[in-house]
Amino acid sequence: MDWRIFSSAVFSRFDLYFDRNYKTADKISVREFLDNCQKNLKQKNKNISLEKNTRGLILKIGNRRSNNYSRIYQTKNSLRFEHEMKGKVLQQYYLLLVENRFEEFEQKLSSYFTLSFGKLLPLQHSYLDWLVIQLRPRL
């Protein structure tokens, strides 16, 4: 890609998400999972809220104006784990993008996403099976 056509563009925000489909083997409800996450996170971070909107429950972690902001919310068939990156956090990946190092860009952002949720959430819940698998060391 010829990035010169975007020479005045600003790389200001990047969102990543993972949809974890509901499973019949899930041992607790989504409500219980989000309540447990909220309780756990309140011990670490004061800026947590669990709200109900027209689509269901949403757990907000952090401040939307900060460089890192996460949400976990219900979709029709899944829980969506979403992470927004801005500012200094994102700028460290900019060079990878404009140098067309897409695989490295994808790998580093995916790792950042995974590690961010891994540091925040209590990993014993079945809704985080995908995260535990991603955090396991590769042999």
Q: In which residue are the tokens 């996403």 written?
A: 113
**Rounded CA Rg of the chain:** 17
Q: How far apart are alpha carbons 113 and 18 in whole angstroms? A: 9
Give me the amino acid identity at 27. K
pLDDT band with cut points at 50, 70 and 90 for residue 5: confident
Residues 15-59: pLDDT tens digits?
Answer: 999 999 999 988 899 999 999 999 989 887 778 999 998 888 999
Enumerate residues 6+ apart whose C-beta is below 8 A from 51: 57, 58, 60
State the pTM of this model.
0.89
**What residue ranges do the domains of the chain occupy?**
16-135
Q: How many helical (H) and strand (E) elements, i.e. helices and strands, does the chain have?
A: 4, 5
The residue-averaged pLDDT of 56-74 equals 92
Asked if the model's pLDDT at residue 137 lies above 90, the reply is no
- State how far the Cα of 123 lies from the Cα of 55, in Å rounded to an integer: 25
* The predicted structure's pLDDT at residue 138: 58
**How many CB atoms within 10 Å of residue 11?**
13
3-state secondary structure of 125: coil
Tokens of 72: 């976990």
CA distance to 46, 47, 59, per residue, from 53 (Å):
21, 19, 11
Which residues are 87's β-sheet partners?
none
User: pLDDT, tens digit, for every residue of 71-129?
Assistant: 999 998 999 999 999 888 888 888 888 888 999 999 999 999 999 999 989 888 889 99
